[in-house]
Amino acid sequence: MGSTSSRGALYFTAISQFSSDFQSILSRAQQIAQIPITALQNDVSSNQNKSQALDTLDPVLASLGWGVASLGSLAANGGLSASSSDSNLVTVTSTGNPAAGSYTISKIKSLASAASEMSLSGYADATSAKVSPSGYSNLVVGSQTHQLNISQNNNLSGLVNASTIPAQASLRPY
């Protein structure tokens, strides 16, 4: 807002018995005319003070907003949070409804890799192990049951070869 200046006082110079009264009227009129200008200047000063007060509150309100957001995140995880002392080695995420506690990873020896295992011990021999004590076995396909006669060749190979259903089967370990 631009600055305002008031004019100098008005002086009436005349020689009359009413000149001092007229001077009083002029001074009073000038004081009355100055009232709106003074009020506007006071409003400007008041608004500047309010603006400074709001500028001071800005970081406080930002901190409050961050705190409320953090509380919301904690509430979403049941009041639990997860953190890592070295996020270059281990990252942590709290999901679901974890049990409260402090967990420690003492030493990381190497990165994880895919693993598999295969062993033939414990599997039946395809030609010598008996499959059925009676020499018969049932093969269920969908809702149909087929009785297979394996009495002449009562082993896994005989079971594979006994089916008359047009399908292929082979024996192999998992």
| pLDDT tens per residue across span 87-98 | 787 787 777 766
Calculate the alpha carbon distances from 27 to 5, 21, 38, 130 in Å: 17, 10, 16, 130
pLDDT of residue 173: 54
Rg (CA), the chain: 49
Residue 65, classed as helix, strand or coil, is helix
CB-count exposure of residue 1 (10 Å: 0-12, 13-18, 19+): exposed
pLDDT of residue 1: 47
| pLDDT tens per residue across span 44-88 | 999 999 999 888 888 888 888 888 888 877 676 666 667 777 778
Residue 61, classed as helix, strand or coil, is helix
Residue 9 pLDDT level (bands cut at 50, 70, 90): low
Q: Any idea what DSSP says for residue 134? A: S
Domain limits, the chain = 17-79, 124-174
